[in-house]
Every structure is written in structure tokens, then in C-alpha cells.
Amino acid sequence: LSSECPRSPPMSDGTGCLERGKCRGGKCVPYCETQGMQSCMCDVIGDACKRCCRMNLNDTCFPVDPPDILPDGTPCIQGFCNKGMCEKTIQDVVERFWDIIEDININKVLLFLRDNIVGTVILVTALIWIPASCVVSYFDRRRLHREEKWRKWSKTDAFMHPTDSRRTVIHTKVNKKNRVTPQYSTST
């Protein structure tokens, strides 16, 4: 006994199959091909949900005569057919993102990373070097700022550096005899 069902024999040629196609050699041949044309999707909104064909690859699509409305759910130029009208489908961004997230598993991620090893190496390197370069840049800017303050101070006449917290003020009195007597006091 097998868990698989045996293949069914193919339908006889000329039997109707999906979307007005015909069976030929065990395969369903689309309607347009049975008429000696190529299947295509009409790009005019009014004809978007009608069966369309073209004579060859470079010709424009046209609806078949008599008109044949495509079944609901068939893809059309703006979305999907619904009761003979092509309706736009706008998928919410969150919904699209969630659809991607739901389909992810660790095996798929690892397979993707292995198949794209160059991109993986670039991504991992970027994840390490970008934050590291930001930290180095921050400390370099701080050091340059301190050096700039020192350079500006060294070019002034001030005796104290702006970062010094303790200041010593010297008060002097001039005697009548033009003698200077220094007096010291300390302030913070």
C-alpha cells in the first residue's frame, strides 16, 4: 500500500478545461491558444476583466468576441476581478509586513544568509563598524573641542585656563610713596 494516489489518466483531446481552454496531449491549453493566438491581460480598465488575446507577442491585447467575463478572483491590471470589474487591491503596510514575518523561520533565514554570503558579510561588517565609527567620532569631536578651547585660551592674555575651578585674586595697594604692597586672598 502507498500513501500516494495513482495519477489519473489524461482527459481526451478536445475536452473543456479551465477558463474555456481545451485539453491537448494531457495538458490544458488556454482559450486564446486554441484559437491560434496568445493569451494576454488587457491594459484598458474597461476591458481588464474580459478574456483578451493578441495575434503575436508584439501586438496589442483585445477582448475576444463574443465578450467573455473572467471569473471572480482572476488577476487584472489593478488587482482582481470582482463581478466583471477590476478592483484595486490596497494592502495595508502592516498587513504586508506581517505576511512577511509570518513566513519567516530560522532555516529559511540561514539558507538565505548562506546563499548570499557576500551580502551577509557586508551586513555584519556594517552592523559592527557603523556603531564603532560613531563612538570613535564622538570621542574625537570631544577631544578636538577641548583642544580648541586650549588653543583659544593660550592666545589670550588670561592667566587662568577656563577649566580651572580655583581662582587666586591678588589685591594691591599703592602707597603714597609709590610702593606696591601685595595682599593675597583666595576665592572659589
Check if CATH label 3.40.50.300 holds for domain 16-88. Answer: no
Q: How do residues 110-155 score in pLDDT, each as one tens digit?
A: 888 888 889 889 999 999 999 999 999 999 999 999 999 888 877 7
Specify burial of residue 32 (Cβ count, 10 A radius: 0-12, 13-18, 19+).
Answer: buried
pTM: 0.43
Among 76, 79, 81, 44, smallest CA distance to 63 is for: 44
The distance between the two most distant Cα atoms of the chain, rounded to a whole number of Å, is 135
**What are 158-178's pLDDT values in tens digits?**
666 566 666 666 777 766 665
Domain ranges of the chain: 16-88, 108-154
